[in-house]
């Protein structure tokens, strides 16, 4: 009998290798075991499949020499059992006396690497064992490399997703190849929904139109840093961002692009979150009516009740909605704002509930609706009074049942979403005119919050002016630091039909035209430089007395500070205090 190794053959590299021999033929089994043990291989032997499975589970050998014909459990049955248990860290050589092609095919499908026909030729067996052990070592090393690569990939993904800005990586065709967790949060989309899409399908058509920042970078092969622009997720939903675009060339291939962006909404909201006596999260007010609003927000924020915010344009309805969200147990989930007036009526159902691919002309892919996007969080429906009557019934049904189907779909989707709606219209009047559903009105107005217009809380103007001056100084690096008392007085006298939004616009204009350190009357818009019909000349005496008294109380009767907040000279304040009998 030939030795498994002779002097002409390269020795086996079998350090730590274990072999399992499963054969009911004791003569063949012992001869094979003897030859393998001469080569210092660790050999385990079994006389049937059942014993072989037990040894396989216990020792996890690198190589199995398996007889095909065995009672109770043949070789194929053995391999099927091994496959069902998920054991894959071994090579298999089948010992057989058959040349049945179907048997051979079945064995290959079950992971057999080689066949040996009995009686065994040990020189041939040597070569097969060498190859099988080498293959097993290679597979083991490859698995380790894959595991190492996967660990590195997970580490890089963790680092990638830890970047505080949103990151999107585009290939040379401007398709999304990678997107960070922060980018998904800013855009309100799951990662799986945007990978491989063209960037305009994710960030809006305007993002790649001629002259847009990305178009300029691609055309000139250049980069842009920290420019302010916006992305459009869908009609009526735009997100202001600060964008940086960098070019990269992976492995000398065609260049791709890295988009790094910050959500400017969040930066603005963080500024509002600075705490002092007149601030409530993002909102600024020392007015008693607004403090009642703040108290109500605190009480109802952590409930699931639907809220209806009523107020004129520019009074801060979305800020109230965000405060409700951020003070609730939903704050770690999505806050999604939708302007009902900005979405075409024919698209509303698809925008709210999504649609399936092919459900209508132009539905080239499945779309997730706003309700699904906001699952677990808050959906803010601004300008709810503009919603078409037919759509109101569908919204009511979802509010009642908390489930819906996508357009063209047949699967019911359940959602957990808190609804906060807002309007600047008289919904009760619209109900009387049959333009708004009464049942939807009562479903929305479980908790009504009324926001007073700025003209009814005119003493908030100095607080707001002070805040926005600080904001503009940081954003514009302007020289403007102060405001003359006559400007503040004029702002206090104005009627503010556009509320806080109008005030911001006036200050934006004034900062743009002023090259001095102090704002004067000539820096205000022309229509505000003189008193017009838009100006509230002077509040009635009793109202003025109340304003002065509340201002004095807010600063613990420090008259100099009170005069500054009122925008008048201290001597004028003393005179008015005497007039109104304020001690």
Task: Give the DSSP H/E element, type plus range, for residue 18.
Answer: strand 18-22
Q: Highest mean pLDDT: which of 104-113, 475-484, 554-563?
A: 104-113
pLDDT of 170 over the 80 cut = yes
CB 377 within 8 A of CB 304: no
Best CA proximity match to 185, nearest among 334, 54, 401: 334
CA distance 59 to 544: 92
Q: What percent of the chain has pLDDT over 90?
A: 26
pLDDT mean over 75-95 = 81
pLDDT band for position 543 (50/70/90)? low
The tens digit of pLDDT for each residue in 355-371 reads: 888 778 777 788 888 89
pLDDT of 448 over the 80 cut = yes
- Look at the chain and count its residues: 583
pLDDT band for position 228 (50/70/90)? low
Number of other CB atoms surrounding residue 530 within 10 Å: 10
pLDDT band for position 537 (50/70/90)? very low
CA distance 174 to 388: 37
pLDDT of 85 over the 60 cut = yes
Task: Give the DSSP H/E element, type plus range, for residue 52.
Answer: helix 49-59
CB 338 within 8 A of CB 380: yes
CA distance 104 to 162: 52
C-alpha 48 chain-centroid distance: 57
Least reliable range by pLDDT among 239-243, 293-297, 497-501: 239-243
User: What three-state secondary structure class fits 308?
Assistant: strand
Q: In what order do the strands lie in the sheet with 237-248?
A: 176-179, 166-170, 256-263, 237-248, 224-234
pLDDT mean over 63-75 = 87
Longest distance between any two alpha carbons in the chain, whole Å:
127
pLDDT mean over 512-524 = 84
pLDDT of 34 over the 90 cut = no
pLDDT of 395 over the 90 cut = yes
CA distance 114 to 94: 6
What six digits make up the tokens of 3? Answer: 């030795």
Name which residue leads in pLDDT, 503 or 157: 503
The tens digit of pLDDT for each residue in 8-22 reads: 344 455 556 888 999
Range(s) of the chain covered by CATH 3.40.50.300? 277-452
pLDDT mean over 231-259 = 77
Range(s) of the chain covered by CATH 1.10.8.60? 455-529
pLDDT band for position 263 (50/70/90)? confident
CA distances in angstroms from 401 to 220, 340, 361, 407, 415, listed in the order given: 53, 21, 29, 17, 9
Q: What is the 3-state secondary structure (H, E, C) of 385-406?
A: HHCCHHHHHHHHHHHHHCEEEC
CA distance 504 to 496: 11
What six digits make up the tokens of 465? Answer: 């002016």
Range(s) of the chain covered by CATH 3.30.450.20? 163-267
In this prediction, residue 444 carries a pLDDT of 96
130 phi, psi to nearest 5 deg: -60, -50
CATH 1.10.10.60 holds for 541-580: yes
The tens digit of pLDDT for each residue in 120-137 reads: 787 778 778 888 888 878
pLDDT mean over 494-501 = 90
In this prediction, residue 237 carries a pLDDT of 61
**Interhelix angle for 317-326 vs 288-300, to 10°?**
40
CA distance 401 to 404: 8
Q: 277-452: CATH homologous superfamily?
A: P-loop containing nucleotide triphosphate hydrolases (3.40.50.300)
In this prediction, residue 13 carries a pLDDT of 52
**Interhelix angle for 570-580 vs 559-566, to 10°?**
100
Omega within 30 of 0 (cis) for the link into 544: no
pLDDT of 539 over the 60 cut = no
CB 494 within 8 A of CB 535: yes
In this prediction, residue 531 carries a pLDDT of 62
In this prediction, residue 343 carries a pLDDT of 87
pLDDT mean over 318-346 = 91
pLDDT of 46 over the 70 cut = yes
Sign of the Cα torsion 441, 443, 446, 449 reads: negative
In this prediction, residue 533 carries a pLDDT of 37
Range(s) of the chain covered by CATH 3.40.50.2300? 18-141
CATH 3.30.450.20 holds for 163-267: yes
Task: Give the DSSP H/E element, type plus range, for residue 247.
Answer: strand 237-248
CATH 1.10.8.60 holds for 455-529: yes
In this prediction, residue 440 carries a pLDDT of 96
- Provide the mean pLDDT of the chain: 82
CA distance 310 to 450: 5
CATH number of 18-141: 3.40.50.2300
pLDDT mean over 548-573 = 72
CA distance 198 to 189: 15
292 phi, psi to nearest 5 deg: -65, -40
Q: Provide the terminal-to-terminal Cα distance of the chain, rounded to the nearest Å.
A: 122
Best CA proximity match to 493, nearest among 522, 452, 524, 459: 459
pLDDT mean over 571-583 = 79
Strand positions, DSSP E, 161-235: 166-170, 176-179, 224-234
CB 130 within 8 A of CB 4: no
In this prediction, residue 248 carries a pLDDT of 86
In this prediction, residue 6 carries a pLDDT of 39
pLDDT band for position 2 (50/70/90)? very low
In this prediction, residue 271 carries a pLDDT of 39
CA distance 102 to 124: 23
Burial of 477 (0-12, 13-18, 19+ CB in 10 A): exposed
């Amino acid at each position: 009998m030939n030795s498994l190794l002779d002097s002409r053959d390269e020795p086996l590299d079998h350090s730590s290798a274990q072999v399992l021999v499963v054969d009911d033929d004791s003569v063949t089994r012992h001869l094979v075991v003897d030859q393998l043990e001469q080569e210092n291989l660790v050999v385990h032997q079994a006389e049937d499949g059942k014993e072989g499975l037990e040894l396989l589970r216990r020792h996890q050998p690198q190589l199995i020499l398996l007889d095909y014909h065995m009672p109770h459990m043949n070789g194929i049955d053995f391999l099927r059992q091994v496959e069902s248990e998920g054991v894959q860290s071994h090579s298999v050589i089948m010992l057989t006396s058959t040349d049945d092609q179907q048997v051979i095919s079945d064995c290959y499908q079950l992971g057999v690497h080689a066949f040996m026909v009995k009686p065994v030729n040990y020189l041939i067996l040597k070569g097969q064992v060498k190859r099988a052990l080498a293959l097993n070592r290679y597979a083991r090393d490859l698995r380790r490399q894959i595991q190492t690569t996967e660990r590195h990939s997970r580490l890089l993904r963790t680092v990638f997703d830890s970047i505080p800005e949103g990151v999107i990586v585009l290939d040379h065709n401007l398709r999304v190849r990678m997107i960070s967790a922060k980018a998904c949060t800013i855009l309100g989309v799951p990662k799986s929904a945007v990978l491989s899409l063209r960037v305009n399908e994710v960030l809006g058509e305007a993002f790649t139109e001629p002259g847009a920042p990305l178009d300029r970078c691609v055309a000139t092969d250049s980069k842009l840093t920290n420019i302010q622009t916006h992305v459009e997720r869908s009609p009526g939903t735009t997100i202001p961002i600060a964008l940086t675009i960098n070019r990269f060339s992976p492995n000398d291939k065609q260049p791709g692009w890295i988009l790094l962006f910050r959500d400017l909404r969040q930066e603005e909201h963080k500024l509002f979150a600075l705490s002092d006596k007149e601030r409530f999260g993002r909102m600024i007010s020392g007015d008693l009516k607004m403090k009642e609003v703040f108290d109500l927000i605190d009480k109802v924020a952590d409930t699931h009740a639907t809220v209806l915010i009523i107020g004129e344009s520019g009074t801060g309805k979305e800020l109230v909605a965000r405060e409700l969200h951020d003070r609730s147990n939903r704050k770690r989930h999505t806050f999604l704002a939708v302007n009902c007036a900005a979405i075409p009526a024919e698209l509303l159902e698809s925008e709210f509930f999504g649609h399936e691919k092919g459900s209508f002309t132009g539905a080239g892919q499945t779309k997730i609706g706003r309700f699904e996007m906001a699952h677990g969080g808050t959906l803010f429906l601004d300008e709810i009074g503009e919603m078409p009557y037919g759509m109101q019934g569908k919204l009511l049904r979802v509010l009642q049942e908390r489930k819906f189907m996508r357009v063209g779909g047949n699967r019911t989707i359940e959602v957990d979403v808190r609804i906060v709606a807002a309007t600047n219209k008289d919904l009760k009047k619209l109900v009387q005119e049959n333009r708004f559903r009464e049942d939807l009105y009562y479903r929305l107005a479980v908790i009504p919050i009324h926001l007073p217009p700025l003209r009814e809380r005119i003493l908030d103007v100095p607080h707001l002016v002070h805040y926005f001056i600080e904001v503009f100084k940081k954003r514009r690096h302007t020289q403007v630091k102060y405001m003359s008392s006559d400007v503040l007085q004029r702002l206090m006298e104005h009627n503010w039909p556009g509320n806080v939004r109008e005030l911001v616009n006036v200050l934006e204009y004034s900062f743009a035209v002023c090259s001095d350190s102090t704002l004067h009357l000539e820096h205000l818009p022309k229509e505000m430089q003189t008193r017009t019909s838009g100006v509230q000349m002077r509040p009635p005496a009793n109202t003025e007395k109340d304003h002065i008294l509340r201002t004095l109380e807010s600063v613990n009767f420090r008259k100099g500070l009170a005069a500054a907040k009122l925008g008048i000279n201290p001597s004028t304040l003393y005179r008015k205090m005497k007039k109104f009998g304020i001690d």
